[in-house]
Amino acid sequence: MNSSIVERLRRAGHLDRIFVDGEWVLPETPARSAVIDPSTEEPVAEIALGSARDVAEAVVAARRAFATWSVSSAPSRALLLDRIHALILERAELFAQAISLEMGAAIGFARLTQVPSAAEHIRVARDNARTYPFVTHRGDMALVREAIGVCGLITPWNWPLYQITAKVGAALAAGCTVVLKPSELSPLSALLFAEVVHDAGLPPGVFNLVNGSGTEVGAALAEHPDVDMISFTGSTRAGVLVAQAAAPTVKRVAQELGGKSPNVILPDADLSVAVPKGVAAAFRNVGQSCSAPTRMIVPRARLPEVERLALEAASAFVVGDPRSQQTTHGPVANRAQFNRVQEMIGIGMAEGAQLLCGGLGRPEGLDRGFYCRPTIFSAVHSQMQIAQEEIFGPVLAIIPYDSVDEAVEIANDTVYGLGAHVQGQDLAAARAVAARIRSGQVHINYPAWNPDAPFGGYKRSGNGREYGIEGFEEYLETKAILGFQDASAPSSN
């Protein structure tokens, strides 16, 4: 199936093209980039890379389309989003196979989580378009929420389709037009998404896709004077560069950046539940999630029991071929990430953290591919690099505490503030701790994922929000029209 996905895209000519103004067109330059299967380290496809000139053409198309799309009715936009949602579900297996191939997700995880969660973002955007009050009144004043304009969307390789739909769905629902730059490391699902948008009947120029590097295409989007907003998901380092490039044109910049999320296990928590679920959450997507709870903060008196339960949980993981139904964890997504994980494991060992399991190198029996050993350190303290730096791989740090106040202090003792978890049987106490954590999201006792929950960070984890109504509102401007003496409103979209 994986090879047939590449062959499908090749036969359609879409590997060689970008999508601009409703058409698959050849980019201005012949630059190419290999797509690497992280399970074999071998190239499986090549994609065409766009340039700053291609970005300029896409922005022209998006600006032209904005004139009509921004004043289209919200129900008509919702209808098109409904078609996109249906086509993603109809082609779910294609997307799952593509994601598994391009970034190494275990096929079961791609099918059960990566693709359905991505579809949910489109559903939420559709529902917001249907119900959102674009015009409200306050006395003789009308408050109008209008589409901000042309949006440059820059998405990462770790949740390739999920991050695309989170941004594109909200932007389209708001009446914006977009130019998408997906990661050149995981571009296959983005090409399949462009096919979906085309087949759903979106008007030309409303959605455009330009593959390319961050230094070329990403920078061109951020700098472009006719791009009104940049939405970026990626590392904090890259986010700073995007914001700097965008600053001279004073465009809106929404950033979802790095994280080092705490999981505070309170003294009354049921460890038999809290620890295994915490390990699973930390290693979800092989730890390649910016909100992964990779710092498990636990009562010192209960540390031996925590360690035993954590080891039991990790021992159930099956690391291997992402195409196998038995595999729970595939490789990390690329060579740079593999090297980063190995480096940080080595640093943890050198810092004197207690290695409970895992360590350097590949798991036994795997001699190629970007496979990492699921690694758990204990007796970690906050000054260690492995407790401060985002590793973005299957590495968990267990940090003991002596009081709840100290646990909160540890939880807040990083430059990040994206996600957090609190576990405890006394809900009032758990809520009190959650209120003290400086983080954009806090999960108490592992609730189900909620696509309506706004997601974004404090501190160096970014600014702005994604998902739900708050994520949708990032793509809107506020206009106050004064002088209305009755309840009549200007025409609403």
Q: Which residues carry out catalysis?
A: 256, 290
CA dihedral over 142, 143, 147, 152, signed as positive or negative: positive
Amino acid at site 465: R
Nearest to 231 by CA among 292, 161, 179: 179
Distance CA 442, CA 422 (A): 7
Six-digit token string for 471: 């994520």
DSSP 180-225: EE--TTS-HHHHHHHHHHHHHTPPTTSEEE----IIIIIHHHHH-T
- Paired sense of beta strands 395-401 and 295-299, if any: parallel
State the virtual CA torsion across 367, 372, 374, 377 in degrees, nearest 10.
120
Task: Determine the Cα angle at 441 with ends 214 and 230, to 5°.
Answer: 25
Counting every residue, how long is the chain? 493
Task: Please tell me the distance from the alpha carbon of residue 428 to that of residue 445, in angstroms, as a whole number.
Answer: 12
